Structures are given as structure tokens and as C-alpha cells.
Structure 1
Amino acid sequence: MLTPSATSRACGTCTLCCRLPDIDELQKPANMLCRHGVEGRGCSIYETRPQGCRDFWCLWLMGTRLGEHWNPIHSHMMVYAQGPQVTVLVEPEHAEIWRTAPYVEEITRWASELQAEGGYIIVFAGDAVTKVAPPA
């Protein structure tokens, strides 16, 4: 469903992956810029970054079915898959954006598709954690 493919997309000035997730290997809490992250530029230790960072795949960047409106710079969200879980991390300053069109409709549709495959979607928005249920 949401799998990486070839793409010409680039991070550009996006550094959400340096800020939104917690990174145990770097003792970095969620929603704080990593000590190695440079706003608007990216990782200052990219070539020697830890394995957890190397294993991370931004689904928008990887050319999945995510349209241009999912560009993290504009959506204020980053999406990634880990096993059966698809995670949506939302910038705390825009915690409700995932509940607006077109995002909420797409996330709900993904929840239905993933459930059929044994998967699910979790949204982290500020301090709120939501498991998205498919429509009844």
C-alpha cells in the first residue's frame, strides 16, 4: 500500500525528520530539533548518522502514493511505515491539520486499506496519540 519507490523528490529545506521523531540512539526526545540537525539544511552528521536514522524512510520523499500536498514543508506532517504500522507525525504547532481535508479523508482510506492487510495508522500530534479507525 504505502511502499517506497523511485522518485525525484528531495528534502529541500525540510528537517521534520530531525525534529519530530524521538531517536533513542541520540537521546533525542520527540518534537525537539536533534543536536545534529540544522534548520533548513538537514543533518550535520549525515554520513555517520546512527542506524535508526539510516533505516528511516519518509514516504513522501520515497514517492509513494502521497501527492504533492503531503510535502512535509506544506503539510506540517511526515509519514513513515514500520512493519504493519503507518505513522503520521504532526508538527505540534499544527496539531489539528491532519483532521482537515484532504488529509483526514486520505488517512481514513489508508486505515481501511491497511486493516485489510493487518495494518493500522497511528497519528502523533503534539501530546495526542490517535489510532485511526476505518469508517464503519
Structure 2
Amino acid sequence: MGGGEDKGGVPVPGRACGPCSLCCILPDIDELDKPANVVCRHCVPGGGCLSYAVRPQTCRDFLCLWRTEPGLAAHWDPAASHMMIYVQGRQTTVLVDPAHPAIWQREPYFGELRQRAAEAKRNGGYLIVYVGDEVTLVD
């Protein structure tokens, strides 16, 4: 994924992708020449990957924070929040489903994103939100 690697994440027991396919839709995936916000040609939304056994390493390595961060509350399930969060280096990225562009600005999401951004800043990082072509640095 063009910026979606979150290597080393260990899945939280009991959390699965379920019907969520946002990681196959929202990010760009360089190895597949897939632009952001376009359904991957191998994806069956809500049904998985048609090329799961031979998917690129980037796809194999990726798990969003919903899958790897036990402290992330239930309302952050991407299927419910319409957002996908991941960390790459110092950057925390939130990809928002363009069909729900304002959801990240609603509570409890906005307050929690501001807290996460403040924590990232204390550690030399930052948090950005992508909604389609719009990019917002959360302060």
C-alpha cells in the first residue's frame, strides 16, 4: 500500500476483518497499480480477496489498528466507523470512506483523534486524515 504498511502488528484475539474491505478500497496499493478510493480489482467488497493466496507482500503484511491495538474502542471497527487507521513510522494515518466524509469530525471520533494527535506530537509524530483528495493535519 502506498503508505499502509503496519508491519509487526499482532492481531487482537476476537477481532477479524469480517465484512470490512476498506483496506482494499481506501489506500493506494502500488504493487497492484490501484489508486486510492477505488475498489481493488481482486476485491469482492464484503466478501474478501479473489487472489488471497497470491496477494502482494504489502497486503500480506498489513493490518489496520482495529486489528492490532487492543485499546482501540469498539466504535473504531472500520465496518462501523467508515475509517481505517494505521501507523507508519511517525505518521498516524486515518483514511475516511468518501461516502461518509464528515464522520471523523463527529464525537467520539474527533475527540479521540485529537488525543491521538497530541500523543503522536509528544513522540515526534503527527496524525493526518484523508477524505478523498482532502488532507487534514490534526493538531
> Residue 134 of structure 2 aligns to which amino acid in structure 1?
A
Q: Structure 1 residue 44 and structure 2 residue 42: aligned? A: no
**1:7-58 deviation digits (Å, cap 9, x = unpaired):** 2201111100010000011000100100000111111112211122122221
1:69 to partner: Cα distance? 0.2
Cα distance in 1 between the residues matched to 2:57 and 2:106: 34
Q: Distance in 1 between matches of 2:132 and 2:47?
A: 24
- Equivalent residue number for residue 5 of structure 2: none
**Counterpart residue identity of residue 76, structure 1:** H
CA separation in 2, counterparts of 1:131 and 1:56?
A: 23
**Equivalent of 1:55 in 37, 50, 61:** 61
Is 1:112 aligned with 2:118? yes
Q: TM-score normalised to the size of structure 1?
A: 0.91
Taking the aligned partners of 1:118 and 1:65, their CA distance within structure 2 comes to 21
Aligned to 1:82: 88
- Structure 2 runs not aligned, ≥5 long: 1-7
**Amino-acid identity (%):** 55
Q: Is the 8 A contact 1:86 1:121 kept in 2?
A: yes
Correspondence for 1:101: 107
* Alignment: residue pair count: 131
Aligned partners of 1:7 and 1:62 also within 8 Å: no
Once the two structures are overlaid, the 10-residue window that deviates more, 45-54 or 32-41, is 45-54
Report the counterpart of residue 34 of structure 2 in structure 1.
Answer: 28
CA deviation vs aligned residue, 1:103-124 (integer Å, no higher than 9, x gap): 0000000011111111110100
Q: How many angstroms apart in 1 are the aligned matches of 2:69 and 2:115?
A: 18
- Residues 64/87 of structure 1: CA separation in 2 closer, same or farther (3 Å cut): farther
Show the counterpart of 1:71.
77
Structure 1 segments of 4 or more deviating over 6 A? none
Q: CA RMSD in A?
A: 1.4
TM normalised by structure 2 equals 0.89
